[in-house]
Structures are given as structure tokens and as C-alpha cells.
Structure 1
């Protein structure tokens, strides 16, 4: 009878198998487990800039006219658009914009200067509103953003008393939201990826500390005892040769036992049990954001995993970690005569791939 385990979170302890398993033992390999490609992450960071630039270009085209007027529109528009893009870029990368308050103050000077261009310039306040929300801390960002919105309503009524204030509010919220939501999503995604990297690195460090403590408690203690016994035998070699010879034989036996224990530990690190192999695989997939459903056969899982089975499991895990389309999977272990066979099924498709 099979046992079904449903994992939603990675386990707190990773048991490494075969030394460097699944690329998880070196912290600089943690990025390989990210389910998002670098190209997608970069595009998401650039998306709010494209949205803001497109909104500004569409709005500024309504103000162009003679060459001199077009030059003025481009100059004043750049005074708003360039700092705004700088602020959005910083927010999209989860950073504080450099010289943010100085550039925001520059925008507050440039925006009133362009009001002489006409009613269409009023909606360029969207860039000013977005930058104020990004640069200023709360509650100042809320207060200043609200003030900018009220100012845009007042100015629009001065230019055209027939303008619908409700329409202006909807347009401002729509355009500001298009820029801010994309930038906030990019920042949240980068923070998620950074947290996932830290989680994987901490798991590796915990495993290294565990191994170091185990070696210090076994091999280190035994080697220290051998060193102390050797020094004592050296002092007895001239005065009491028979006692020294007896202690030397005891020391040799102890050294052999230490060597055997060291070999056992090395074999244990090189070849983990079936349960440890599956435990490590589930933990790594969980750290990468992949929900794992593990179906196990009945019987003992403490026996050492077959090398072919372990290699197949690592290959499957490595393929899943590099596949950004898989969000959940099912690992089924089928016990046949004398060996184990791994079957992988991704819930996103109906494909079942024997490893």
C-alpha cells in the first residue's frame, strides 16, 4: 500500500547526498533554482518605464505645434519624464532612488512652468504624482499625492470650466496605477527571489554546520585522543618500553577504529538513504516554490538508495528547478524487484516521464 505525503513547505533540515547535490551546496548556485528567467525579470522591471514613457509621449503630442513650441514641449516634458523614469527604475528594483528628493523638487518646479502650454499639460501631473508616491515616505506621499491630484482638478477647471472632474480623476488614477502597480510588482518579485536565495543559502550553511559538528564530535575527538596518547607513549618509550609497547598497540587499534569510523562517515555523506534523497529533493523543490506531492511505496525507506535511482532523482529535480513553467509536481516511487524506479508527473500537464 502506497503512502501519499503532500508537502506545501520545505522541511527545515536538508540532508545532502553525494556531496554537492542538485547544485545546492554552493550559495552562488542558488540563482539556478529560480523559476523565473532573467529576461522575464528584466522585462518586468522595464515595463513601468515603458508605460510611463508611452503615457507621456501620447500626452505631449497634443501640445506640439510650431518647431519652437515643440522644442519647449520636449524640454519641459523631459524635465518631468526623465526624473520619473529614474524613480520608477529604482522602485522596480526595490531600491530607494538616488537624489530622489532633489529630482522630485525639480519636477515640482518644471510642472507649473509648463502650465502655460495649455490644458493638455495638466495631465502631465500624473508623472509628478507617481514620483511623489515613490520618493516620499508615508504619510507624506499620500498627502502630497492627494494635493497634486486636487491641484490638477483646480487647474483643469481654470483652463476649461466644462471639463468633467470625474473623468479627470479616472484618467489620473488609471495612468498612475498603470505605472505604480507594475513597479510594485517588479519590486515584490525581486524581493521574493532574494528571499528564496537567502533561504537556500541558509539551508546550505545549516547543513555545513551540521556536518562540521558531526566530524568534530567523532573524528576530531578521536584524533585529539590519538595525539595525546602518542605524546604519552613517547615519554614512556625510554623508561618503560613494555608498557609503551602495550599502549602503542592500543593506540594502533584505536587508530584503526577511527579510520573505519571516518570511512563510514564519508560513505554516509556520499550515499544517502532513500528517505534522505527524497527529503532533500522535496526541500529543494519547495525552496524553489514548487509544490510537491510525494507518493511512496510501503516498506523501509532507510536503506541506501541505488546509485542509478539517486542519479535519476537528481536529474529530475535539476530539470524541474530549471523549468519555469512547473508550479507543482507529483513524485511517485515504484518499488520493483531489487530496485527503485522514479516516475515524475507535473500537474500542469498530463505527461508522465519515467526517469
Structure 2
């Protein structure tokens, strides 16, 4: 559009085709600069070619082309760092003014040239920059979420180690002190270790519940429109106002009109820059449209206000919905054409088209910068919302794994500690065996604690079956366990182990079972876990205490049934594919989970 304005001006002057063909030579390297991110050497090379081609018309027609080095200004702003580009833009503007003086431009034309160069260069640079910002924000929309999730993991890891880790270390210390101590001292140490295990278990459940609470989400911080967009709009609007004042002062022959136009511009400019609502738009339209036409019939000088019409059209397109906005824009553009032919002097057709294009460029600038700036704000706010959602999901994931993984270990420590207390007097040897068996349980719990916040928890099914048998027997439950399937894949094994832990914990907490059977079988591409007890209580659902067995199954794309048996007791049956297909849905609705991965990402 900018080139077309130069073209129609050339047609008015009667310049040949070869002139405007040469004059359009700097456009391809400028388009290349805008098209992609080049490395520094390529950018500088394209800029050098652009400058050389922009100076070429001098060899043919001197200044007859209405030479405006706006392509150089735009290329400098796009290709060079800000600390260099803005001073160089000042040099370009000063060079334009000097060239006009050397060519003997009339004062009005001499003032117009650098203002036009600045306007066109800022238009291209600002639209290029804001659109690139939108693309960058869109491409990096998940980066903030990743960073905030990592920070949340570090924070929660420190929190868990400071609370749960302290409890585990205290239990280990008490049990170590009990070994070899006199009976009374050993009893006191074991009792305190058992109580600490129960307190830590209560803390784990409380923390897990708190992590999963909806209040874990944080509000996104307020986001403001990019500052440089506001600056560019201010500069462009002020340039149009200054051009109007200069035209009146230098060309009208009667500067007294400034007493009317300066107050008008002083009201119109703030209205344009204040993101006007519909009422303000009406006031702005009544200020700038009738004054230029039909006001120019009263005095031709009033037509200078037409320079703000393009900005007014842009504000209408931003603030008024179609089709009304398009109707207003079409009406204003029609008035531009009318103003070019009435009142006299009448502009030639090429001049009318150039004036229409100039109005459309200003409207496009105002509309595009405003809408793209709003899009930047929306994308930035979305990035923060995604980050807040990711942090909330991570808290849910950690709370879930904290309950499902450590809850079992701490329950085992508490139960076997109580068993050791009962055996200290009757069977000291077996009591010592029970206490010694707690050491690897605690070591494993500490390792699992580190893996919960760190990323991925992996459980081995065969070990978990043995641990479940030991814990149930320590609680006085007769256990029959059978594993009739080969070692499943890691994801499936972790899923089965997690369900086994939750199921056994439910047996201990919510039933009065005296017998329990655990069987693992494999057939038809699936691995099946069956837990049957003769208790009366039912395990909790997904929202009670933990995330529930159904959640554990859904997280690994498995199937689960749980309920009372007709002949009495309770049965849990879980089935998982022996070869997981990949991502399964998260039952909590917050995160896709790979296979049986307990730890989310």
C-alpha cells in the first residue's frame, strides 16, 4: 500500500515505468528481513542491499520521485539492536531533512518528508514486532508452565523433606536406639517410634488432602499491554496532529485558524489514545469529520483535519462490531474521495487513490496494533493461567502419590511397631526380627519420598506382594498370596503395585478382616489382580482420604471392580494391559499419565 502511494504520486508527475520499477527495488530485501529470523550476518547483508537499492533512484530522477527513505528506516529498526537502531533512525530522518534542503524543497514539503519517513518506518516496524511477539508467545505458551512446575517441585520437595522426611528419620533413630537397649528403654523407644509413625501418617494424609484442594491454584498476575505499542501509537497520532498544525501554519496563509484547530486537536488526540468507548467515539467523530468536510467549504484550511480520519476509522474498527464498523469505515473513505474533489482544487484520480490508501494505512495501523496488543495480553494471561493450572496439577499429583505411596509404608511401620511392642516381653527374638525388618521399609520410604517430588515413582509388583503379606500378617490377618503371571512391564507393574498398596491399606483401615487372599494372573494380553477379604467394611471412594482405587485404575488405563461379595467379605479386581499403549487419562482430570506412571510428568 505504501508503494502504491509512491506509484500514484509518480504517475501524477509523469515519471516513466522504469523509474518506479527502480524505486521499488528496496522492497524485496525489506520483505526478506521481515519474513524470518536471520542470523546477524544475513540481516546486515540484507540491510546493506536495501540501503544501496533505496538510494538508486537518485541516479535517474534525483528527488522527482518524492524520495522517502522509509524502507531504510524500517530496515534499520528491524535488523539492528534497539541501542543502535533508534539513533540510526534519527540519522535517517536528519539525512532526509538535509536532502530536502539541498534539493530546495518548499518549507511544507521539507517538513513533510521526515514526518512521512518516520510514520512509514514505525508502521512496518511496529506491526512486524507485535506480530512476532504474538507468535513467540504462542510458541512459548507452555514454557512458563514448565518452569513454574519445576519451581513448585523444588518447593514441595523441601517441604516434604522438612516434615515427612524428619518424621522418617526420627522413626529410624528411635528404632536404632531400641536395638540392644534394656527392655524398658527399648519399649519406650519402640512406642515413641510407633507414635511418630502414626503422627507422620496423619501429616501425610493431611498434606495430601491440602495439596489436592482446589485452593492450590494461584491467580494470574495482571498483564498490561506492551509499552512499545502505546508509544508507537502516541508517536503516530502526534505526527498526524503536527502535520495538520504545520500545514495550517505554513500553507494556509492565515495562522489564526490555529486558534480553532489546536484546541480541536488537543481534544481529539487524547480521545484517540484513551481506547475510546462508543460515547467517546461519537464525540471524536463529531470533532474530526464535519470540520474537514463539509467544514472545508467554509475554509479550505479545515481540510487538514482529514489526516486524523484514518486513525478514527481504526478506532471504530476496534471498538464497534461489524457490520456497523464497516459501514462507518466505508462512509469515511467515501468522504475522503469526496473531499479530494470538492471543494476545489480537484485532485487527479491518482491523487484520490493515494489519499484513500494513506487513510487505509493509518486505519490498518491503529486497528492492527490495538488488536494485536490485546492478543499479546490474552496470550500472556493464558501463559500465566496455564502455569497456575500446571502447578495445581502438580500439587494434585504429588498429593496423590504422597498418599498412595507413603501411606502404605507408614501404615506398615506403625503396625509392625505395635506388633514388636507386644512381642518384646513374650518373644524378644521375634520382636528384634520385626524391628530389624522395619529398617529396609524406612529406607525405601525415604527413597520414595525423594522420587515423589522429583518425578517418577516406580514400584515392583513382586516386592509389593511380599510387603503386603508381611503387613497383613503383622496385623493378625491370615494371608494367602499367589503370583501366577510373569513379571509385567514396568508401567503395568507399577499400576498393579499401587492398586495393591491401596487395597491392602483399605483392608487394614476400613475392615475387620481376619483372612485375605491376593492373586495375580495373566491371560489374553492382560494382568489381573484380585484381593479378597472377609471383612465388613468397604474402601473409600475417590474423594475420601486418598484418590481411591478407581482413580488408580483410570490413571493407568485399567479396569477395576470393587464391592461386597454375596457370600460375605469384600473383593477388589483390577485388570491392566500387559503392554500399555502409552498415555492414559488421568482420573483427576489434571494430567495425562504415561502408562502407570504415578508421578505425572
TM-score range, shorter chain: 0.5 to 0.7
Question: Is 2:316 aligned against 1:132?
Answer: yes
- Aligned residue number for residue 244 of structure 2: 59
Shift of 1:175: 2.1
- Aligned residue number for residue 121 of structure 2: none
Which of 48, 51, 61 is equivalent to 2:233?
48
Structure number with the bigger relative contact order (C-alpha 8 A, sep ≥ 6) is 1
Kindly indicate whether the alpha-carbon contact (under 8 Å) linking 1:16 and 1:207 is maintained by their aligned counterparts in 2: no
Kindly indicate whether the alpha-carbon contact (under 8 Å) linking 1:53 and 1:81 is maintained by their aligned counterparts in 2: yes
- TM alignment of 1:287-326, pairs within 5 A: none
Kindly indicate whether the alpha-carbon contact (under 8 Å) linking 1:84 and 1:128 is maintained by their aligned counterparts in 2: yes
Shift of 1:61: 2.2
Compute the TM-score of the two structures, normalised by the length of structure 1: 0.52
- Looking at structure 2, the residues matched to 243 and 212 of structure 1 have their Cα atoms a distance apart, in angstroms, of 40
Gaps in structure 2 of 5+ consecutive residues: 1-138, 156-215, 296-300, 457-601
- Looking at structure 1, the residues matched to 372 and 326 of structure 2 have their Cα atoms a distance apart, in angstroms, of 19
Q: Residues 154, 243 of structure 1: CA spacing in aligned structure 2 closer, same or farther, 3 A cutoff? A: farther
- Looking at structure 1, the residues matched to 452 and 321 of structure 2 have their Cα atoms a distance apart, in angstroms, of 51
- Looking at structure 2, the residues matched to 218 and 146 of structure 1 have their Cα atoms a distance apart, in angstroms, of 68
- Looking at structure 1, the residues matched to 390 and 437 of structure 2 have their Cα atoms a distance apart, in angstroms, of 35
- Is the partner of 2:342 in helix, strand or coil? helix
Which of 182, 199, 219 is equivalent to 2:386?
199
- TM alignment of 1:253-332, pairs within 5 A: 259-268=442-451
Q: Residues 189, 61 of structure 1: CA spacing in aligned structure 2 closer, same or farther, 3 A cutoff? A: same
Compute the TM-score of the two structures, normalised by the length of structure 2: 0.33
Shift of 1:125: 1.6
- TM alignment of 1:207-226, pairs within 5 A: 207-223=394-410
- Looking at structure 1, the residues matched to 399 and 260 of structure 2 have their Cα atoms a distance apart, in angstroms, of 68
Q: Residues 118, 262 of structure 1: CA spacing in aligned structure 2 closer, same or farther, 3 A cutoff? A: same
- Aligned residue number for residue 155 of structure 1: 339
Shift of 1:171: 1.4
Question: Is 2:268 aligned against 1:84?
Answer: no
Gaps in structure 1 of 5+ consecutive residues: 1-7, 32-37, 88-96, 274-355
Kindly indicate whether the alpha-carbon contact (under 8 Å) linking 1:59 and 1:121 is maintained by their aligned counterparts in 2: yes
Kindly indicate whether the alpha-carbon contact (under 8 Å) linking 2:229 and 2:373 is maintained by their aligned counterparts in 1: yes
**1:179-210 deviation digits (Å, cap 9, x = unpaired):** 33333333333333333333333333322221
- Is the partner of 1:63 in helix, strand or coil? helix
Kindly indicate whether the alpha-carbon contact (under 8 Å) linking 2:409 and 2:445 is maintained by their aligned counterparts in 1: no
Kindly indicate whether the alpha-carbon contact (under 8 Å) linking 2:272 and 2:311 is maintained by their aligned counterparts in 1: yes
Shift of 1:157: 2.7
Question: Is 2:279 aligned against 1:102?
Answer: yes
- Is the partner of 2:322 in helix, strand or coil? coil
- Is the partner of 2:154 in helix, strand or coil? coil
Stretch deviating more after TM superposition (52-61 or 75-84): 52-61
- Looking at structure 2, the residues matched to 138 and 261 of structure 1 have their Cα atoms a distance apart, in angstroms, of 66
Shift of 1:271: 6.2
Question: Is 2:366 aligned against 1:183?
Answer: no
Q: Residues 168, 146 of structure 1: CA spacing in aligned structure 2 closer, same or farther, 3 A cutoff? A: same
- TM alignment of 1:161-180, pairs within 5 A: 162-163=346-347, 164=349, 165-180=352-367
Kindly indicate whether the alpha-carbon contact (under 8 Å) linking 2:416 and 2:435 is maintained by their aligned counterparts in 1: no
- Is the partner of 1:159 in helix, strand or coil? coil
**1:243-262 deviation digits (Å, cap 9, x = unpaired):** 99999989867865653333
Aligned length: 239
- Aligned residue number for residue 141 of structure 1: 325
- Aligned residue number for residue 283 of structure 1: none
Give the CA RMSD over aligned residues: 4.6
- Is the partner of 2:274 in helix, strand or coil? helix
Q: Which of these two proteins has the greater Rg computed from alpha carbons?
A: 2
